[in-house]
Amino acid sequence: MSMTGGREDGAFRVGYQRRTAPFCYAVGSPFRPIGFSVDVARIVLSEILGADRFAATQAVEVTSTTRESLLLNSAIDIECGSTTITEARLEKVAFTVPIFETRHRIAVRTGSMRRRDAAVSVAGIRGSTSQAALEAAGDLGFQPTFVGHSSIGEAFDAFTDDPAVGGIVADEVILRCALAASPRSDVELLDIRLGLDRYGFMMRPRDTALRSALDESLVRLLASASYKALLARWFYDELPGLGYGLGMRSVGGQVT
């Protein structure tokens, strides 16, 4: 089966993000991603491609806004990170079975909601399911205005550096990770959970043989003790290279 987008070099290229710990992240240069999704990809792709060919795969850095176009233009052959399976995306790309479930959370500066129905600018990834969940939410106790950015890193930088931005919305795990990396006494994680997202690995629709092989391998992994060990490593233990852990207990991909 052809899995390299018709490129002459025959290299298998995997897209990963730099700043979406604990799913996928890189510390320093060169770009060497690690994380929960990276480990899951390593296990299933090694089984499908074989150990030697997997060792020769190329890691390509992507962002939330570039990953889909890089996939469809054959610059990468699969994207392994924290991409939500949505109906809109399924019109253009394909996904594996879900590897994780999560919800969205909002963090705010303590003082940004001194009165009920206060107007609060909330940073997030432009076009994301976090944006959709925020805009579809009912009474939050404040009036959010979404401010879009191209990546979670840019959104978090805006939240921490721009006094006009009073909040940030993101995947709960990634948001907790960002807050743990830059702890601040003036930031509060609201006890509000929005939506329900399922993450999968993203592929081209025509790569049906690859998708079938990945699904079979993932179903076996998700039912194994190895998967539970991965959850503990990346959501409870200290994260490699970051100096902190999330201390979150995970069961079957649903973080509590």
Q: In the Cβ-directed half-sphere of 87, how many Cα atoms lie within 13 Å?
A: 1
Q: Is the pLDDT of residue 251 over 80?
A: no
Mean predicted confidence (pLDDT) in 87-109: 96
Q: Measured in whole angstroms, how far is the alpha carbon of residue 243 from the centre of its chain?
A: 20
Residues 10 and 145: their CA atoms lie apart, in Å, by 46
Q: Where in the chain is the domain with CATH 3.40.190.10?
A: 13-99+200-255, 103-196
Q: Is the pLDDT of residue 6 over 70?
A: no
Whether the Cβ atoms of residue 101 and residue 198 lie closer than 8 Å to each other: yes
Instruction: Give the tens place of pLDDT for each residue, 147-167.
Output: 999 888 899 999 999 999 999
Q: Is the pLDDT of residue 249 over 80?
A: no
Q: Is the pLDDT of residue 185 over 80?
A: yes
Report residue 8's pLDDT band, with 50, 70 and 90 as the boundaries.
low
Q: What is the dihedral of CA 104, 109, 110, 113, to 10 degrees?
A: -80
Fold classification of 103-196 (topology level): D-Maltodextrin-Binding Protein; domain 2 (3.40.190)
Instruction: Give the tens place of pLDDT for each residue, 201-236.
Output: 999 999 999 999 999 999 999 999 999 999 999 999
Fold classification of 13-99+200-255 (topology level): D-Maltodextrin-Binding Protein; domain 2 (3.40.190)
Mean predicted confidence (pLDDT) in 32-51: 96
